[in-house]
Amino acid sequence: MRKLLFLFLSSLSFALSQQSTNLFLGKAGNPLIADTTITPEIYSWRRNTTGAVGYNNIPADVQHVFYASDYVYVSSTNIPSYHIGPWNGNPNVASNQNFTFKITRTPTQNTGTKTATSLGHIGVLSNGVTIFNAKDAMSYNNQNIWHQNAVVVEAPSFDTCFGHPQQHGEYHHHQNPKCLYTPIPNEHSPIVGYAFDGFPLYGSNAFANTNGTGNIVRMKTSFRKRNITQRRTLPNGTILPSNQYGPNISTQYPLGYYIEDYEFVIGLGDLDSLNGRFSVTPEYPNGTYAYFATMDSSGIPVYPYLIGPYYFGIVTAGNTGPNSGHNTIPDSAVEYTGTTGVRENNFSPSKFSLLQNYPNPFNPTTKLSFVIGHSSLVNLTVYNILGKEIATLIHNGLTDEGMHEIEFDATSLPSGLYFYRLQTEKFSETKKMVLLK
């Protein structure tokens, strides 16, 4: 047993240690030893390397990207390089916000009470422009019960890119940023930004299956407009007293005018109530939770548009709230100066890979997925923290090339940390998972 534990943990330690390092200059110009693994949260930004300017001759897009082992720091003016304005009926003017957002490199699922996406910025697009949720700041009779849908109510003030500035000059989008990218049929959409919990936001197109297989399809929202003519109940079934009724459905207050006009139906579309799902993507071949911009078949944005009413993960401090978005870049951070707009770490079924289980933590079942580059004999085994084999999911099984998924049921096991290992003739990889009962 001791020998087994030693060999298992030693091989795990060796695998985790295979990170290449190199010498870089930090923010202060000091030599640093930095991780050279350039991951999507570092390279997915539209960096301005040409001195391009946007609205009112303000430097456009992202000015700098710095990264450390824990965070990426994205500095932008909040002005895009595409043409913006005019904003009919809106007295506000877009201005340089001098933002520096802090994006975690290790986003973590919030397994407790989800954090609501508040008013103001909730994420940042790849060009440094902020995104807001679906609400505007007003509610019917100021009762904070029937909340106005910004995409409907504020639509007259949007420019042709579906954006507008708020009272402090912060230009932003509540819905799909159509001037940032164009969906291409049969092509997975790119990362168009990051939410402030560190999980990516994609455009509208993705693999049909969460394991990275199937055709490229448009991600469909699981929200729909309620079948109501009077606003007397909430989507969760709460019956309101008469003094909290909203206005009846009418030309002045059409269905969809308020956020509470929508209801979530499990399985109606591809996405969950947060407007995302866990899936394999070109940038994340091991899988990630991701949000998606939702549109109908005609390309019209549909609720909840970008990120839902709540964040999936734990929100990084410093990006939300009063005076937020002005984080300090540590001197130890390294500036990224590589090529932008290039998909690195592309998903390729010709490679062998063990994906992270989902969900994780889990109770009592979880799905283990892996990619086989060519037909091989496969072993998929689960160990406890002592290195004891507790389950053999596949034993010398001849497995065809492609993506595979198997469900692991831990009903009989206690809560704790477990390891699962994929082995073929020439490949071995181990990952951790947490059973939380």
pLDDT band at 343 (very low <50, low <70, confident <90, very high): very low
| Span 42-87, pLDDT tens digits | 999 999 988 889 999 999 999 999 999 999 999 999 999 999 999 9
Q: What is the dihedral of CA 414, 406, 265, 148, to 10 degrees?
A: 80
pLDDT band at 160 (very low <50, low <70, confident <90, very high): very high
For residue 153, the SS3 value is helix
Question: What's the pLDDT at 9?
Answer: 36
**Does the structure show a pLDDT above 50 at 304?**
yes
Instruction: Report yes or no on 198 lying in a domain.
Output: yes
Instruction: Report yes or no on 14 lying in a domain.
Output: no
Q: What is the mean pLDDT of residues 375-387?
A: 89
Instruction: Report yes or no on 9 lying in a domain.
Output: no
Both tokens of 69, joined, read: 């082992």
Question: What's the pLDDT at 79?
Answer: 95
Q: Rounded to whole angstroms, how far apart are CA atoms 372 and 432?
A: 20
**Does the structure show a pLDDT above 80 at 396?**
yes
Both tokens of 204, joined, read: 């509208």
0.75 exceeded by the pTM?
Answer: no
User: 290 and 207 in one domain?
Assistant: yes
The structural domain count of the chain equals: 2
User: 178 and 304 in one domain?
Assistant: yes
Instruction: Report yes or no on 222 lying in a domain.
Output: yes
User: 377 and 297 in one domain?
Assistant: no
| CB burial of residue 222 (10 Å; 0-12, 13-18, 19+) | buried
**Does the structure show a pLDDT above 90 at 252?**
yes
User: 340 and 365 in one domain?
Assistant: no
User: 335 and 373 in one domain?
Assistant: no
Percent of the chain with pLDDT over 90: 63
Measured between alpha carbons, how far apart are the two ends of the chain, in Å? 27
The pairs formed by 59-67 with CB atoms below 8 angstroms and a separation of 24 or more are: 59/96, 60/127, 61/127, 61/128, 62/126, 62/127, 62/128, 63/128, 64/335, 65/335, 65/336, 66/27, 66/329, 66/333, 66/334, 66/335, 66/336, 67/41, 67/42, 67/105, 67/333, 67/334, 67/336
User: 369 and 226 in one domain?
Assistant: no
Instruction: Report yes or no on 6 lying in a domain.
Output: no
pLDDT band at 5 (very low <50, low <70, confident <90, very high): very low
Q: What does the DSSP assignment read for 12-77?
A: HHHHHT---EEEEEBTTS-EEEEE----HHHH-S-B--S--B-GGGPBPSEEEEEE-SSEEEEEE-
| Span 188-237, pLDDT tens digits | 999 999 999 999 999 999 999 998 888 999 999 999 999 999 999 999 99
Question: What's the pLDDT at 232?
Answer: 96
User: 296 and 386 in one domain?
Assistant: no
Pick from 93, 154, 115, 90: nearest CA to 321: 115
**Does the structure show a pLDDT above 60 at 342?**
no
**Does the structure show a pLDDT above 60 at 386?**
yes
Average pLDDT, the chain: 86
Q: Rounded to whole angstroms, how far apart are CA atoms 133 and 306?
A: 7
Question: What's the pLDDT at 373?
Answer: 81
User: 352 and 331 in one domain?
Assistant: no
Which of 272 and 286 is assigned the larger pLDDT?
Answer: 272
Q: What is the mean pLDDT of residues 421-434?
A: 86
**Does the structure show a pLDDT above 70 at 11?**
no
Question: What's the pLDDT at 349?
Answer: 41
Last residue of one domain, picked from the residues 347, 367, 402: 347
pLDDT band at 7 (very low <50, low <70, confident <90, very high): very low
pLDDT band at 187 (very low <50, low <70, confident <90, very high): confident
pLDDT band at 10 (very low <50, low <70, confident <90, very high): very low
Q: What is the mean pLDDT of residues 96-105?
A: 96
Question: What's the pLDDT at 267?
Answer: 92
Prior bond to 107 cis, omega within 30? Answer: no
pLDDT band at 437 (very low <50, low <70, confident <90, very high): confident
Last residue of one domain, picked from the residues 347, 372, 405: 347
Last residue of one domain, picked from the residues 321, 347, 373: 347
Both tokens of 189, joined, read: 């959409």
User: 372 and 279 in one domain?
Assistant: no
Q: What is the mean pLDDT of residues 93-103?
A: 96
Provide the residue range defining the domain that includes 422.
348-435
pLDDT band at 387 (very low <50, low <70, confident <90, very high): confident
